[in-house]
Amino acid sequence: MTDLRYEAPATLEAAVALLGGAGGVARVLAGGTDVIVQMETELVEPELVVDIKKIPGLRAIAPENGGFRVGAATPAMEMVEHAGLCRAWPGVIDGVKLIGSIQVKGRATIAGNLCNASPAADSVPPLAAAGAVARVVGPAGRREVEVAKIPVSPGKTSLAKGEIIESIFLPARAKNSGDAYERFTPRTEMDIAVVGVAINLTIDGSGVCVAARVVLGAVAPTIVVSEECAKAIVGTRLDEAALEKLAAAASAACRPIDDKRGTIEFRVKVAGVLARRVALKALERARHIV
Amino acid sequence: MSKRHHISVAVNGDDYDFLCEPAQTLLDVLRDELMLTGTKEGCATGDCGACSVMLDGRLVCSCLVLAVETEGKRVDTIEGMAKDDQLHPLQRSFLELNGLQCGICTPGILVAARALLEKNPDPTETEVRYWLAGNLCRCTGYDKVVRSVLAAAAEMRGA
């Protein structure tokens, strides 16, 4: 790491130009909670780090069209402390709260959690369930990309060379809807998800589920957005039969690995158990969020 | 050789200037350049919390901050916690209730606990345990740490 270059440009255009023009390995530095660890452990030896925190607007949570735009350099703790965001998207906040210790969340960002492209990232399933959209800026201009389409395999994203996530947009919260995220870990804190499930659903005036997005984490090389799970609960009141179908669909959607934190059999079973719990929690919130 | 950066930073209210390489962490600079060795290195990968400091009022691991990022910022470390000879109530409480054994994790725990009490002067035991989950202690089993924090909180509230 002796010939590392550090740049902190004042504009996105300059950041894109630096990253696009880099000859060797270049990394975006926002919270640094993945990048600096990778540098310390010599997993990645970049020749250039581009600190995006001096770019105006990137460290902000701004209301937009009834939703919120979260700048890519906004630390997780600022999201957790944002009353409006917590009210609108409690399931996203469930995930953000689990990203790491208070210290790590003082720096870590959801854009970084997304770009680290771990299938076990805790904020990614609820962001995908919420229908969050990443604004990507690069040498070819701006594009809007669904959060679910950013990670393509462990550690790999669909971003091209020189592209940066500028912000993540959480849409307006639909009426009578709620979201939730839970994960299984052997410890209650400071651990990596063995299985995670996020559900965002909407009910009508009579309590029937009219829309749902169900996203599984840590059970495949990327998060899994499961249409089958959504179909199991849409049109129902989340009665026992619907929850049974949901659990079966969640288990069927898993393509997990066997590792020291969980066997394939265990992950498949737990995905179903968590899906039921999370659906009921999202339903409870949908009844109370107007 | 990388380009060296000239950085000006306020540590515990005092202005410091230093030169650093881009890969040096804030922890490296605090300990090796500024000789503020109260902040400890445990894991150097953000898992143990021994290097906890406040950066512009936010609790962070100084091993996960590059020193070049701190230009113009405010850093508060364990060295700024006591005011002259007057220990902070948390420091006194840890001494009185034996909230430490070997002491390596203690500066980080004190800095983290102070950050908690500034936000929440009356935390429950559960809140203390969750807040300090990022501070590992291999000696105490945490019980005396948690009791020390709760006792200091009560004293600071005048309870």
Q: Return the higher-pLDDT residue of A289 and A183.
A: A183
Question: Which residue intervals of chain A bear CATH 3.30.43.10?
Answer: 5-51
**Alpha helices by DSSP H, chain B:** 26-28, 89-96, 106-119, 125-131, 143-157
For residue A93, list its beta bridge partners. Answer: none
How many Cα atoms occupy the beta-carbon half-sphere of B123 within 13 Å? Answer: 24
CB–CB of B2 and A32 under 8 A? no
Partner-chain residue, chosen from A5, A37, A106, that has the shortest CB–CB distance to B45: A37
Closest CA of chain B from A88, distance in Å: 23
> Does the pLDDT value for residue A123 go beyond 90?
yes
Assign B83 a pLDDT band (cuts: 50, 70, 90).
very high
What is the topology classification, in CATH, of domain A177-288?
Answer: Enolase-like; domain 1 (3.30.390)
Q: Number of A:B CB contacts under 8 A?
A: 94
Q: What is the pLDDT of residues A167-208, one digit of tens each?
A: 999 999 999 999 999 999 998 888 999 999 999 999 999 999
Give yes or no for A41 touching B (CB within 8 A): yes
CB–CB of A53 and B69 under 8 A? yes
pLDDT, chain B, mean: 96
Question: Which residue intervals of chain B bear CATH 1.10.150.120?
Answer: 89-157
Question: Which residue intervals of chain A bear CATH 3.30.465.10?
Answer: 61-170
Of A192, A142, A198, nearest in space to A165 by CA: A142
Domain spanning B5-77, CATH class: alpha beta
Assign A2 a pLDDT band (cuts: 50, 70, 90).
low
Q: What angle do CA A236, A238, A243 make, to 5 degrees?
A: 115
Average pLDDT over residues A102-123: 97
pLDDT at A290: 56
Of A234, A270, A266, A222, nearest in space to A250 by CA: A270
> Does the pLDDT value for residue B3 go beyond 90?
no
Q: What is the pLDDT of residues A33-79, one digit of tens each?
A: 999 999 999 899 999 999 999 999 999 999 999 999 999 999 999 99
- Has domain A61-170 been given CATH number 3.40.50.10090? no
Closest CA of chain A from B92, distance in Å: 24
| A200 SS3 class | strand
Give yes or no for A153 touching B (CB within 8 A): no
Closest CA of chain A from B135, distance in Å: 8
pLDDT at A189: 83
Assign B150 a pLDDT band (cuts: 50, 70, 90).
very high
Partner-chain residue, chosen from A2, A107, A189, that has the shortest CB–CB distance to B133: A189
With the CA atoms of B37, B42, B43 and B45 taken in that order, what torsion angle do they form, in degrees rounded to the nearest 10?
-50
Non-local (6+) Cβ contacts of A222 within 8 A are A117, A119, A151, A152, A153, A154
**What CATH number matches the domain at A5-51, 3.30.43.10, 3.40.640.10, 3.50.50.60, 3.40.50.300?**
3.30.43.10
Measured between beta carbons, the chain B residues lying within 8 angstroms of A75 are 58
Buried b (16+ CB within 10 A) or exposed e, A42-66: eeeebebbbbbbbbeebbebeeeee
Instruction: Provide the pairing of β-strand A26-29 with A48-51.
Output: parallel
pLDDT at A119: 96
This model of the complex carries an ipTM of 0.96
Question: Which residue intervals of chain B bear CATH 3.10.20.30?
Answer: 5-77
Question: Which residue intervals of chain A bear CATH 3.30.390.50?
Answer: 177-288
> Does the pLDDT value for residue A159 go beyond 70?
yes
Token pair recorded at residue A197: 């499930």
CB–CB of A4 and B133 under 8 A? no
pLDDT at B2: 78
Closest CA of chain B from A272, distance in Å: 27
DSSP state of A289: -
What letter represents residue A157's amino acid? T
Q: What is the pLDDT of residues B37-82, one digit of tens each?
A: 999 999 999 999 999 999 999 999 999 999 999 999 999 999 999 9
What is the topology classification, in CATH, of domain B89-157?
Answer: DNA polymerase; domain 1 (1.10.150)
Assign B1 a pLDDT band (cuts: 50, 70, 90).
low
CB–CB of A100 and B59 under 8 A? no
CB–CB of A32 and B69 under 8 A? yes
Q: What is the pLDDT of residues A222-265, one digit of tens each?
A: 999 999 999 999 999 999 999 999 999 999 999 999 999 999 99
> Does the pLDDT value for residue A1 go beyond 50?
no
